[in-house]
Chains A and B, each alone.
Chain A
Amino acid sequence: MTTQLWMASSARSTLLATLVLTATSLTFPLKAQGTNAGVQEFDPLSFPGQVVDDVVVPVPSEVFTVLDKLGEPNWRQEVRDLKLPQSSDRILLSLVFGYVVAEGFVAVQAEDKESVKDIGREVIDLAKALGISKSVLPHAQAILDAADQNDWKSIRKEFDLTQKTVRTTMEQMRDEDLAQCVSLGGWLRGTASVTSIVTKTFSADRAELLNQPMLVEHFLSVIGKTPTATREHPLVVKILSGLRDVLTEMESAVDGFTEESVRTIGSKCDSLLSEITAVVK
């Protein structure tokens, strides 16, 4: 597509330009709308342009930094011992992968060097089990090296890169459903940590961080569109059901989240994470 556009600008021949323009109009099926200068009110339902469907799921540390600003959470209490399932089930392994990377973000927040190194090693094992160790190994090694130097900033960056690399590699292998499972596993673990911190020192500001219905809707939508083998996987069925409960809880928090609603979301995420780690084959 890039080449075609360049050829049009070089005006090599009328025929070529016509072909390029035809290709271009096929590439951009939506009508041009002009600039949006002066727009101050916005109705997404009548948006005339193109909607980018890709949703960037925030990494846990995006929420954790806010919690740090609102107090001094005891992150060491939030670090969990990893008891990972032995399985060859790629759906399960993908969910676990996301979970483990999110656990890495918790360990970074706690500045827990040994946990970070354990997680780095788990990342390597999981990548091997998923058959993607070649692309993940450099990041995992960078995590281990940075942990030796207490370089928390680099570790955080590498965990983000690890997750992105894994998802990209899976997408290249036409395993988009597994890539979504990685994001989902990470989101569940991140949200469980947030609810744990918020319930320990409840405040409206902290609880508001759980106002994430768009992300839950995103997961319900993308996982719901995955191949039958994925969306009807017993574990995925349970997770989708749990996510619907979480969404209901988020949508009913019109006047803000209560301690009870935070606890409900937390216990739902925890029970789903337990399901993920409990599977043994």
Chain B
Amino acid sequence: MHSLSLLLLRLPALWAQALTALLVTLILTPAHASVDDAHSFAMEAAVPFVEQGFIVREDYWNGEIKSGQQLMIKHQLFKGNEYAFWLATANEGAKLDLKVFDDKGKAIEIDQKKAELWSTARVNPPKTGTYTLVFSLTSKTEVGLFWALAYGYR
């Protein structure tokens, strides 16, 4: 009974200690980057394009990649549409590079813009057909990098 009373008296102090521990943990824990974050940044990059009439596709590609490694995606594009691709990462300081090739393996002209966490590319496909997107993310500090690639058209 005596120990119970002591415990009850000490409860506010225990709560304060627990709260402090929780705050310290939160402060010391580095923010977790994730593929979902990468997609969120891709959608952030898409905002000015949507304002210009681009329709964002709900399907997208994402994953984790080793720094410097290249990835290749084949994608169907239709002549007459203008496409925008939004490649984003959740890892600060990463360098993003994106190129688009036609079915003959020739690089096609893209209007590319880069920001800290994303790179955007506008593409006007000269023909309807299969195009290859080749991209990489490079970081001096991170081994694995989270990425997402979304697109829209108008």
Contacts and interface: CB of A to CB of B under 8 A. Distances in A.
Interface of A: 1-3, 5-6, 8-10, 21, 24, 27-28, 30-37, 39-44, 47-52, 54-59, 61-63, 65-66, 69-70, 153, 156-157, 160-161, 163-164, 205, 208-215
Interface in B53-107: 55-61, 63-76, 78-81, 95, 97, 99, 101, 105-107
Contact of B81 (A10, A39, A43, A66): A66
B105 A43 contact: yes
Interface stretch (B8-16, B18-26, B40-48, B122-130): B122-130
The majority secondary structure among interface residues of chain B is strand
Kindly state the interface size class of chain B when it binds its partner.
35 or more
A212 B66 contact: no
B136 A42 contact: no
Contact of B78 (A36, A50, A63, A160): A63
A32 B142 CA distance: 13
Contact of B105 (A33, A44, A58): A44
Interface of B: 30, 32-34, 55-61, 63-76, 78-81, 95, 97, 99, 101, 105-107, 127-130, 132, 134, 136, 138, 141-144, 146, 151, 153-154
A24 B143 CA distance: 8
Contact of B153 (A24, A42, A52, A65): A65
A157 to B, nearest CB: 7
